[in-house]
Structure 1
Amino acid sequence: MNKVQIYRRRLASVMVSILRVKEAVFGLAKIVLLAIAAAVVSACSVGPDYQRPDVALPEQYNQELVQESTDNAGLIDWQAFYLDPNVRQLISHALEQNLDLKSVKSRLIAARSQVTVTDAALYPEFGLAANAERSVDSGITSSEPTLGNEFDIAGTVSWELDIWGANRRRSEAEYANFLSAQDRLNLAVISLISDVASRYYEWLDIEQRYQISVNTVQLRKKERDLARLRKQNGVISGLQVKQAEVEYQSAKVTLPDLDFERQQKANQLKILLGEYDYPLKVDDALQSLTSAELFPRTFKVGVPSQMLSQRPDVKAAEQALIVANANVGVAKSAFFPNINITGSYGTETDELDKIFDSQGVTWSLLGGITAPIFNAGSISAQYDIAKESSKQALLAYRSTILNAYFEVNDAMNSFRRSELAIEAQQELVEASRGYTRLAMLRYRNGVSSSLDLMDAQRSLFNAELTLSEVRRDKLLAMIKLYRSLGGGVLTQKEMRQIYDESTAIED
């Protein structure tokens, strides 16, 4: 038999023996578990059990929208709420490429793993320990120094008994942190969706006002040139030419600021999209702004109590309250003793190749208790801190609900105001156009002066600019209302997809 075969046989023997030791360790662990099973089953978790606090919410919001639909707007999927295909495309792109959202997703995956880390303290820990020692006696103390070897291998088990429920409270808190991470992801998704839609319509409003200003500048340039020609023919005075020049320059001076604003708003949108140069098609966008159906025609806002289950910020605030409540139990458990059990089972020999065949079985079982006696009030202070933190979390939870309630009310009021403003502004634009047409006819027929025409054109110009802004405000109010109701959260399928994608990246 050659050396390779010898080593293979020894290796096989080692593996078989390891399995035997492993079985012995589990046998020891089974004994330990049975010995303390009754104590663990009867153990309780100190500290208060969480109960959702009662919040005296009003039964209705201050105002009600027209309720012709059976669906609450906050429960509508964002693809069913945003009907503009351009907005849908931008939102889909942002949900895939936005860098801040990817960071929030990463924190969610880390929170899920942290739950596993914390839960591990609830179970025994098994291990394998191997040691080798070679020694020789001193020639001074021994007339016949001998060389000795000692080899041992043993399975180990250790467990901190969770008699007072400290580890269970930690597990409860960590799981609440994980759920809070899910809520923060949903909050980030809602914010991203609304920000993309808002920046898009703000950009379109500026583009529309820029186009109105360009058209007005071109029109007033023609009128200025016409005024110069009429002065040369002795029809009007130089004062009227100067007036036409002033009106032309007044319209022209608005272009630089609008041009800067439209570029700035486009850049903000590209940041949300996670790209340096995303193509934004102005003409198609402006056309869909006036011709396409942008939002559902009717929807209902529901009742305030639905916020508790719809808005991610309210749910995250409740999870923070659960964490603080569990930490009170952790702090209270510090007043009680800790109980630890450790054990080992293995073999010991002076020849390495016989370590698994040796009759030198070794085992140990050790139980220990540590209890606080004097700590200068540190444990009591930590307990007081935990209770106050729980109070602060409760106040933060109530404050979040209060702010959410009035945020919905403000969004509803903003929507109603924009509807009334659009109706009035459209009437003003129509009146201004009629005034401008009449003033133009009177001016060309020599009945009125150029001042009347310029005043009419100025009124129309301002009215058209304001109408664009009011339309923008209505769109933003719709977006804000949908966001305030918690619309746009991820479905369970989409949440699972995030976990699957993270696992695929790890593999």
Structure 2
Amino acid sequence: MGISMRPLTLILLLATGACSMTPKLNLPPAPVADSYPGADTAATAEALPAWRGMFGDPRLQRLIALSLDANRDLRIAALNAEAARAQRTVQRAQSLPSINAEGGYSRQRQPAGATGAAVGGTSGNGATGIEFGQFTAQAALTSFEIDLFGRLRALNEAAFHRWLSSVEARHAVRLNVIGTVVDAYLNERLAEEQLSLTRSTLADWETSLDISRRLKAAGQASGVDLAQAEGLVRQAQADLAQRERELAQASNALTLAVGAPLPGDLPPPISLMDQPIRTELNAGTPSDLLIHRPDIAQAEQELRAANADVGAARAAFFPRISLTAAFGFASRAFEGLFQGANRSWSYSPAISVPVFRGGELRGNLDIAKLRTSTAVATYEKTIQTAFREVADGLAARATYATQLTELRAVVTQAQRRASLAQLSYSAGMSSRLELLDAQRATYAAQQAALVVRRDELASAAALYRALGGDTGQNTDTP
């Protein structure tokens, strides 16, 4: 048996020395500048905080944690990653031998004329022939492909990188879920605080309208004062309806972002002006994005998978060698089945050489190369998009602080003007129109300051996400 099995041993040795048709992949250089516009190149790079360190509001933290457990997009991404891992296992199994244990019993009859003998059992109709049964037990290797040209190895490599791509996609979805919850929460906070401001302002203006009506009835105020007061109340009532609608819609958006009904035992909210969200983040260098951005890592893995597909398409031009083999026992009696004399074996190497496929193999290779070129462009575009998002975030960080500082000063001055106008009106030194105008200016300044503060916080969250933020490599991963 040892001499007869030498061809099998030779084939297996050839398999271990299989060559690879996959081209060497050199990642293209990042198609962006070495630094961000206006960034401090001398700043010391620091690791980004985990999301709990970035967003300090306990109510927001509770909502983010809930979303990481309930959000459907994240659940789909996790399932896709598991499916890719299973697909990789299936692909890897194709490069390993498949061995089946088989056992069976067969009984047959051969007529005497077919065997050239006139002895044997007698069939039911009296004709002579040979009738016998046979027991078999064997281990069989079925159509195992000897991967001499690396086709299976390339397909396995492609499946491996697509699995890694799905893992990075899950991290990207996780980061997007966190960012979406933060944005929805800030919008809800803005809508609620604007609604509260509108209600208090409406109450003040309704009081002023009542005073104007009484003064007009007493002949101490003109119709212009009354019309101005009525106009402000109407505007505030219209604003109130708008704010109520915006709050309802913002609450619905937050519920959708979280992926579950909001629990009733959430911590109390923190106002926008006091939100403990970090607005100062060190951007580092654009090269850091290649490490921290999960969407860039995902695009890189897709590029590597496409490159491996080129190797598989190239290997398809070469012959495929497969092996079918079996080793076992066969006996007419079960009692002696496993005796050495009843041992049996067989092996059947086969080779398949593509001769004419109508251009299919060339077409598959061209498609694989084009997909690799597309993956390169996607990889470069992803880097450029990431660079722009970080640059936008840095530009926003540099301007929102100044804008908000000035708006807060505007609010302070408007409130001071309203107080002085009230004193002047009470002393009979100015008209009620001036007082109403000062109150209107204060209301507008307060609303504008809330919007800019929301935008500043949302911009900080967007910069955190653009820098790669929380990639899921911590205990908060669901």
Fold agreement, TM-score > 0.5: yes
Amino acid across the alignment from 1:39: L
Determine whether 1:129 maps to 2:102: yes
Residue 487 (structure 1) aligned to one of 459, 469, 478: 469
Residue 439 (structure 1) aligned to one of 421, 445, 460: 421
Residue 260 (structure 2) aligned to one of 266, 275, 278: 275
Q: Secondary structure at the match of 1:253?
A: helix
Residue 64 (structure 1) aligned to one of 39, 42, 46: 39
Structure 2 CA distance, aligned partners of 1:231 and 1:210?
31
Change beyond 3 A, Cα 1:494–1:469: closer
Q: Secondary structure at the match of 1:459?
A: helix
Deviation at 1:374, TM superposition (A): 1.0
User: Who is 1:229 aligned against?
Assistant: 214
Q: Is the 8 A contact 2:202 2:233 kept in 1?
A: yes
Within-5 A mapping of 1:428-507 = 428-491=410-473
Structure 2 CA distance, aligned partners of 1:237 and 1:66?
64
Residue 365 (structure 1) aligned to one of 347, 369, 372: 347
Which protein is richer in helix relative to its size? Answer: 1
Deviation larger for 224-233 or 139-148: 139-148
Deviation at 1:46, TM superposition (A): 0.8
Q: Is the 8 A contact 2:102 2:139 kept in 1?
A: yes
Amino acid across the alignment from 1:35: L
User: Who is 1:154 aligned against?
Assistant: 138
Residue 288 (structure 2) aligned to one of 294, 306, 314: 306
Deviation at 1:286, TM superposition (A): 3.7
User: Who is 1:8 aligned against?
Assistant: none
- Figure out how many residues of one structure are paired with residues of the other and give that number: 466
User: Who is 1:218 aligned against?
Assistant: 203
Structure 1 CA distance, aligned partners of 2:93 and 2:3?
20
Change beyond 3 A, Cα 1:132–1:140: closer
Determine whether 1:164 maps to 2:154: no
Change beyond 3 A, Cα 1:71–1:121: same
Structure 2 CA distance, aligned partners of 1:36 and 1:167?
16
User: Who is 2:25 aligned against?
Assistant: 50
User: Who is 2:58 aligned against?
Assistant: 85
User: Who is 1:331 aligned against?
Assistant: 313
Structure 2 CA distance, aligned partners of 1:426 and 1:258?
22
Structure 1 CA distance, aligned partners of 2:189 and 2:5?
70
Deviation at 1:62, TM superposition (A): 0.3
Change beyond 3 A, Cα 1:484–1:400: same
Residue 342 (structure 1) aligned to one of 307, 314, 324: 324
User: Who is 2:381 aligned against?
Assistant: 399
Deviation at 1:417, TM superposition (A): 2.5
Q: Is the 8 A contact 2:31 2:380 kept in 1?
A: no
Deviation at 1:367, TM superposition (A): 0.5
Q: Secondary structure at the match of 2:307?
A: helix
User: Who is 2:227 aligned against?
Assistant: 242
Q: Is the 8 A contact 2:95 2:147 kept in 1?
A: yes
Deviation at 1:71, TM superposition (A): 1.2
Change beyond 3 A, Cα 1:183–1:358: same
Q: Secondary structure at the match of 1:122?
A: coil
Change beyond 3 A, Cα 1:491–1:241: same
Q: Secondary structure at the match of 1:44?
A: coil
Structure 2 CA distance, aligned partners of 1:319 and 1:390?
11
Any idea what the Cα deviations from partners look like across 1:271-293, whole Å, max 9, x if unmatched?
222222433869x3144x44453
Structure 1 CA distance, aligned partners of 2:92 and 2:5?
20
Any idea what the Cα deviations from partners look like across 1:52-83, whole Å, max 9, x if unmatched?
222343221002269876514xx322122222
Q: Is the 8 A contact 1:184 1:316 kept in 2?
A: yes
Residue 164 (structure 2) aligned to one of 159, 179, 191: 179
Structure 1 CA distance, aligned partners of 2:334 and 2:24?
55
Any idea what the Cα deviations from partners look like across 1:84-120, whole Å, max 9, x if unmatched?
2222222112112222212211221222222221111
User: Who is 1:13 aligned against?
Assistant: none
Amino acid across the alignment from 1:156: A
Structure 2 CA distance, aligned partners of 1:200 and 1:280?
16
Deviation larger for 333-342 or 421-430: 421-430
Change beyond 3 A, Cα 1:174–1:32: farther
TM-score where L is the length of structure 1: 0.86
Change beyond 3 A, Cα 1:357–1:30: closer
Structure 1 CA distance, aligned partners of 2:127 and 2:252?
89
Any idea what the Cα deviations from partners look like across 1:324-380, whole Å, max 9, x if unmatched?
100001100111000011110111222344433473322101111000011121111
User: Who is 1:412 aligned against?
Assistant: 394
Q: Secondary structure at the match of 2:341?
A: coil
Structure 2 CA distance, aligned partners of 1:206 and 1:318?
40
Amino acid across the alignment from 1:109: E
Any idea what the Cα deviations from partners look like across 1:428-471, whole Å, max 9, x if unmatched?
11121122112222222222222211211111111110000000
Structure 2 CA distance, aligned partners of 1:343 and 1:292?
71
Q: Secondary structure at the match of 2:376?
A: helix
User: Who is 2:119 aligned against?
Assistant: none
Determine whether 1:294 maps to 2:269: no
User: Who is 1:34 aligned against?
Assistant: 9
Structure 2 CA distance, aligned partners of 1:50 and 1:33?
35
Within-5 A mapping of 1:108-123 = 108-123=81-96
Q: Is the 8 A contact 2:45 2:284 kept in 1?
A: no
Structure 1 CA distance, aligned partners of 2:4 and 2:266?
69
Change beyond 3 A, Cα 1:275–1:323: same
Determine whether 1:253 maps to 2:234: no
User: Who is 2:251 aligned against?
Assistant: 266
User: Who is 1:209 aligned against?
Assistant: 194
Change beyond 3 A, Cα 1:302–1:68: closer
What stretches of structure 1 of length at least 5 have no aligned partner?
Answer: 1-23, 499-507
Deviation at 1:305, TM superposition (A): 0.8
Q: Secondary structure at the match of 1:437?
A: helix
Change beyond 3 A, Cα 1:460–1:281: farther
Deviation larger for 387-396 or 435-444: 435-444
Structure 1 CA distance, aligned partners of 2:346 and 2:5?
14
Deviation larger for 331-340 or 223-232: 223-232
Deviation larger for 453-462 or 466-475: 453-462
Amino acid across the alignment from 2:30: V
Structure 2 CA distance, aligned partners of 1:279 and 1:295?
27
